[in-house]
Amino acid sequence: MSEEVFIRHCSPTLAGIKTANLFSCRFADEKEMRDSVRRLNVVLVKKGIRVLPLR
């Protein structure tokens, strides 16, 4: 998942308008998804935001 996709779908949450956000994103396999989530969380956790895969 690119930062651009994340920002496009989560901008209301990032702006404080919503408390959470839910959207789907396709990956080639589970490893790619986990790597992408980890990469985003390294940056976002410092700001009090987490990405959690639900399925």
- What residue segments make up the domains of the chain, in order of their start? 3-47
In the predicted structure, residue 1 carries a pLDDT above the cut 80: no
Looking at residue 35, its pLDDT comes to: 94
- The values of phi and psi at residue 46, to 5°, are -60, -25
Does the model's pTM come out above 0.75?
no
For 44-51, the CB contacts below 8 A with 24+ separation are: 49/13, 49/14, 51/6
Could you tell me if 19 and 13 are in contact, meaning their C-beta atoms sit under 8 angstroms apart? yes
Looking at residue 20, its pLDDT comes to: 84
Looking at residue 50, its pLDDT comes to: 87
pLDDT digits (tens, 9 = 90+) for 2-51: 778 878 888 888 888 988 888 888 899 999 999 999 998 998 899 888 88
